[in-house]
């Protein structure tokens, strides 16, 4: 959405990332378009949720947004300036402003250091002489994410999964970033612990005015945390819009199936499930036209030949589907 008044913090245009893969040692190389022609903005303090199934390119999107990978086409601008090349001095300075949180906190932490030392480390790197100040700030952050001083002295393996994810979060926030990319941060946690971490993330975000890109396959968690949501399928956005509105009345046939497939615990919320036929597509062997057409119940002959563009439908929604031509009429009611 470019209509907003505020200057976007992050501006991504026509991003494309292609990986080369090979079948076997001597196989012919095939090109996998992990992300293809994706554009989006993130405003300061705003959360953009990215949902999609495995292989849809959501993690690649996160790395592109952070500049951990360079797009093959398109550009990312942060605070109005282009993303510097990886491993340059400018790039390192920018790292303080943007951070990443992964699914597996144990893999992201050093097993041989107490967690408080690890939380302090980013400050030690950027302000090596302020040892005492760094220690105080790290202890404050430890308390802020809900860990005790005693837990700060422990090693990663002595903490539970939820506590480790709190440590990772504390460390990411030490340099005072404006932008956080969270890639499936709560997927490995039990439901009750997941709720703790989600609540903490929301509190910290409001308090610190963080902008976030929140990547997850879990629609519930994404809706809880995001203002806007983009649904990815095979490297592209198929639908984007306000989180509540999008889940309440999905337009794209894929989003509809995705929302209906989310199992409901309470019987009052139960509804007819749309079961998609076919397997998730192989990014290396992309269907022609609309990538979703082989599994789509509403596919028309046109879908096989022509890929639909992501066009505005209604006020706050963009959809990539031939069912919704770029019109301003009340077609949004079709859901």
Q: Which residues bind another protein (CB under 8 A)?
A: 53-54, 160, 162-163, 190-196, 198-199, 202, 217, 219-221, 223-224, 244, 247-248, 257-270, 273-276, 279-280
3-state secondary structure of 8: coil
CB of 219 to another protein, least distance (A): 6
Residue (22 or 220) nearer to another protein, CB: 220
Cα(107)–Cα(109) distance, rounded to whole angstroms? 6
Q: Which helix (H) or strand (E) holds 174?
A: none
Residue (202 or 307) nearer to another protein, CB: 202
DSSP 85-99: PTTSHHHHHHHTTEE
CB of 254 to another protein, least distance (A): 8
Is the Cα dihedral 268, 258, 305, 35 positive or negative? positive
Residue (44 or 146) nearer to another protein, CB: 146
Query: Does residue 17 contact residue 72 with C-beta atoms inside 8 Å?
Result: yes
Query: Does residue 37 contact residue 72 with C-beta atoms inside 8 Å?
Result: no
Burial (CB < 10 A; 0-12, 13-18, 19+), residue 16, is middle
Query: Does residue 302 contact residue 323 with C-beta atoms inside 8 Å?
Result: no
Residue (89 or 265) nearer to another protein, CB: 265
CB of 266 to another protein, least distance (A): 6
Residue (271 or 333) nearer to another protein, CB: 271
CB of 198 to another protein, least distance (A): 6
Cα(267)–Cα(180) distance, rounded to whole angstroms? 36
Residue (29 or 263) nearer to another protein, CB: 263
Residue (8 or 49) nearer to another protein, CB: 49
CB of 158 to another protein, least distance (A): 12
Query: Does residue 65 contact residue 25 with C-beta atoms inside 8 Å?
Result: no
Q: Which residues contact 323 (CB under 8 A, 6 or more apart)?
A: 251, 253, 298, 334
CB of 288 to another protein, least distance (A): 21
CB of 176 to another protein, least distance (A): 25
């Amino acid at each position: 959405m470019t209509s907003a008044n505020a200057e976007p913090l992050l501006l991504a245009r026509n991003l494309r990332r292609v990986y080369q893969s090979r079948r076997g040692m001597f196989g012919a190389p095939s090109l996998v378009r992990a992300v293809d022609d994706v554009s989006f903005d993130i405003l300061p303090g705003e959360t953009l949720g990215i949902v999609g199934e495995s292989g849809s390119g959501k993690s690649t999107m996160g790395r592109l947004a952070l500049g951990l990978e360079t797009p093959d086409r398109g550009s990312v601008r942060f605070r109005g300036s282009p993303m510097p090349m990886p491993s340059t001095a400018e790039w390192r300075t920018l790292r303080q402003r943007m951070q990443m949180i992964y699914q597996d906190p144990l893999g992201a932490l050093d097993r041989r250091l107490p967690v408080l030392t690890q939380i302090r480390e980013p400050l030690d790197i950027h302000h090596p002489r302020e040892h005492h100040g760094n220690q105080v700030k790290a202890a404050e952050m430890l308390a802020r994410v809900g860990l005790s001083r005693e837990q700060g002295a422990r090693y990663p393996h002595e903490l539970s999964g939820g506590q480790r994810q709190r440590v990772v979060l504390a460390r990411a926030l030490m340099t005072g970033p404006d932008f956080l990319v969270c890639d499936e941060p709560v997927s490995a946690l039990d439901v009750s612990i997941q709720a703790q971490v989600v609540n903490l993330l929301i509190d910290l975000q409001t308090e610190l005015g963080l902008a976030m890109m929140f990547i997850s396959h879990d629609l519930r968690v994404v809706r809880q945390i995001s203002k806007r949501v983009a649904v990815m399928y095979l490297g592209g956005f198929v639908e984007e819009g306000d989180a509540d509105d999008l889940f309440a009345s999905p337009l794209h046939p894929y989003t509809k199936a995705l929302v209906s497939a989310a199992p409901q615990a309470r019987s009052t919320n139960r509804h007819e499930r749309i079961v998609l036929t076919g397997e998730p597509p192989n990014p290396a062997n992309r269907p022609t036209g609309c990538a979703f057409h082989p599994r789509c119940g509403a596919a028309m002959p046109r879908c096989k030949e022509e890929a639909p563009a992501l066009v505005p439908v209604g006020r706050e929604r963009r959809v990539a589907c031939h069912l919704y031509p770029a019109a301003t009429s009340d077609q949004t009611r079709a859901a």
